[in-house]
Amino acid sequence: MRTGPTILHLDMDAFYASAEQAAKPSLRGKAVVVGGLGPRGVVATASYEARRFGVHSAMPMGQARRLAPNAAYLVPRFRLYREVSEQVMGLLRELSPLVEPLSLDEAFVDLEAGEVASDAGSAEAVGVRLRADIRRVTGLTGSVGLAASKMLAKIASEEAKPDGLVLIRPGTERALIGPKSVRILPGVGPATGDHLRRAGILTVAEIAEAGQDELVRLLGKSHGQHLYAMALAHDERPVVAERDSKSVSVEDTYDVDIHDRVRVRTEVQRLADRCVERLRAAERSGRTVVLKVRRYDFSTLTRSETLRGPTDDPAVVREAAARLLESVDTTGGVRLLGVGVSGLADFTQEDLFAQAAAAEEGRGAEGGTVDAAVEEAERGEAAEVETGPAERRWMAGHDVRHAEFGPGWVQGSGLGRVTVRFETPYTVGPGRVRTFQVDDPLLEPAEPLPLVERAGDRGAA
């Protein structure tokens, strides 16, 4: 492990919800929930104001509405989120050639590789400057963690939330993480955490005290050795640029084992979409789809399928993952699911029939997402736009423009009417609200405006 805290972890604060608050003056300082608004929708992101009511990501939307009935509930706007993410990642790449994106709003940066920091003082200065640049360019806030390893940098950024910076100085690591819950360590999900709890191991220090042999007995050789090393603050994983990766994958560990086969299929579909989002963010395609399943007894199965050519089509990856799932027995329960794509290339040679089928199934979802709940929301709402009654064309939170009143966003729709609040990111104070017929010829969908005003933006508005 390096001697200076020169690995940086950036995590944007409540990214989707914060972007919506920045875009909509009337929602600033108020509870905002982004996700699928249909009967099976789930929360993608909740603002910090909404979190005070107990709302959190991956929660069923119905439960969120019961906890925070007065919050603003919005459908995701992925075009905006991707544009902001590109701005943030651009700032990170100015610091170092080694930037490892984990999602649209999270990444590791090796500051030593960029020769911008070598010790605690210079690393902290870079972190302070980065946070200021992010606010200046995007209008949003991000939390920064600085440490000598990826694990510790991520722990530090969690400590820094929201809108802060935490630096872990070399030599203080074990004292810092020792009293914390085992759940802060990479690879410790709800299932592993519960397994350790039953063995009387609740903190990181207790993992270290238990010793490697006991961890191997409890969790198996690979997992036990890995966890013991992490508890000692030993993490030699390098920051690896996405474009240099041999594969892209995502996985989720579940609080409670999943027994319902339909739910398992749904989770696999979501993971496939998340994987494609990362693939596209890296501007790559892949030929082999991999499914990972960890069952109730901790046994882990992997299945793979090699396609006829590289793809970054979410429909193709979803279909391949679904086929792989059919060969796996999940009746005893599932603790973890993962979907990956390997055999990466810089071009695509997709199955044209699969593309045509995808276009028929659900046009309107622009690629995958970094969050399973978010992508389901976009697909579900897009389907409503295509197949539902006319009034469902206008999705809550999405951008519109009226020929007379200018740009605004949809507050809600129903009974043949759509309510629009006319404001932009640059409006001073909440904008006015007006209601129109859903087929009003003067009202049309619009592109998102940048969150920070640039020359000409106000004139365009």
Catalytic center residues:
106
Q: Show Cβ contacts of residue 406 under 8 Å, excluding neighbours closer than 6 positions.
A: 422, 461
Nearest to 415 by CA among 437, 386, 387: 437
- Torsion, Cα 5 8 13 16, to 10 degrees, reads -170
d(CA 272, CA 220): 28
Torsions phi, psi for 310 (to 5 deg): -60, 145
d(CA 61, CA 44): 9
Tell me the residue type at 434. Answer: R
Three-state DSSP class for residue 164? coil
Which tokens go with 247? 């594969």
* CB distance 273 to 369 below 8 Å: yes
Quote the Cα angle for 367-371-374, to 5°. 70
Distances from the Cα of 85 to the Cα of 66, 82, 331, 332, 417, angstroms: 31, 5, 39, 40, 34
Count of C-beta atoms within a 10 Å radius of residue 97: 12
Neighbouring-strand partners of residue 422: 432
Per-residue burial over 414-448, b = 16 or more CB atoms within 10 Å of its CB, e = otherwise: eeeebbbbbbbbebeeebeebebebeeeebeebeb
d(CA 32, CA 311): 35
d(CA 272, CA 337): 10
Which tokens go with 130? 């980065």
Name the pairing type of β-strands 406-414 and 399-402.
Answer: antiparallel
Nearest to 359 by CA among 390, 314, 305: 314
* CB distance 386 to 362 below 8 Å: yes
How many CA atoms lie less than 13 Å away from 246 in the CB half-sphere? 1
